[in-house]
Amino acid sequence: MVDSLDLLIRDARACQDCALAATRTQVVVGEGCVPSDLMIIGEGPGAREDELGRPFVGRSGRLLDRLIEEELGRTRGQTYIANVVKCRPPNNRDPRPEEMDACASLLERQLMLVAPRVVLLLGRVAVSRVLRSKASLGSLRGRLYDLDGVVVIPTYHPAFALRGGAARLTEMRVDFARAHLLLEEGRP
């Protein structure tokens, strides 16, 4: 089968593979440019995202947009943004392992279609899932990882930076700037 974005969206919207299907308003598949040199992966939709069917459109999303513009010199539409799980976990709890398992093939297909050179992982849940590590985010952050030839940069979730003040935000800026440098290196 030759995969496409249309097929992926169709499959995601029809998905009933975990309990989150029963409580979602909309499936938040992801959005942006396909293919894209940069993919950003968060945890899962919140209330606003569930309502609008788009990733990172609440308070965290506004900070994310700012970081993309100020540190990467581009707009969110010039990246691809998705989440580890595509349906909102009730009361914004962490997604459960079986929910992330049920969504894993959609994320893998997104990675194949987007074919990024650099992936930014936002927050503990996305980092531990994609890097398959139980280590703390604090200990994983600050280094680059290789995922089948893709450079992976773990960083904080924007919600964590919003709660944590200037120091965390500065660290996030450093991580985004690092992604920018790597992306620029590959340009003619």
Pick the piece of the chain touching ligand URA (CB under 6 A) from 43-51, 68-76, 148-156, 179-187: 43-51
d(CA 157, CA 33): 21
- Say how many residues touch ligand URA, by CB under 6 A: 10
Q: Which two tokens stand for residue 44?
A: 């899962």
Query: Per-residue x/- marks for ligand URA, 108-147, CB under 6 A?
Result: ----------------------------------------
46/116 with CB nearer ligand URA? 46
Of the residues 8, 40, 56, 95, which one makes contact with ligand URA according to CB under 6 A? 56
The residue with its CB nearest to ligand URA is: 42
For residue 60, state whether it binds ligand URA (rule: CB under 6 A).
Answer: yes
For residue 45, state whether it binds ligand URA (rule: CB under 6 A).
Answer: yes
With beta carbons less than 8 A apart as the criterion, state whether 94 and 48 touch: no
With beta carbons less than 8 A apart as the criterion, state whether 48 and 57 touch: yes
Site for ligand URA, residues 73 to 92, rule: CB under 6 A: 83
- Residues sharing a CB contact under 8 Å with residue 127, sequence separation 6 or more, in sequence order: 121, 133, 137, 140, 141, 154
Look at residues 83, 82, 93, 85 and name the one whose alpha carbon lies nearest to residue 18: 85
Look at residues 73, 3, 70, 76 and name the one whose alpha carbon lies nearest to residue 36: 76
For residue 37, state whether it binds ligand URA (rule: CB under 6 A).
Answer: no
- Which residues would be at the binding site for ligand URA (CB under 6 A)? 42-46, 49, 55-56, 60, 83
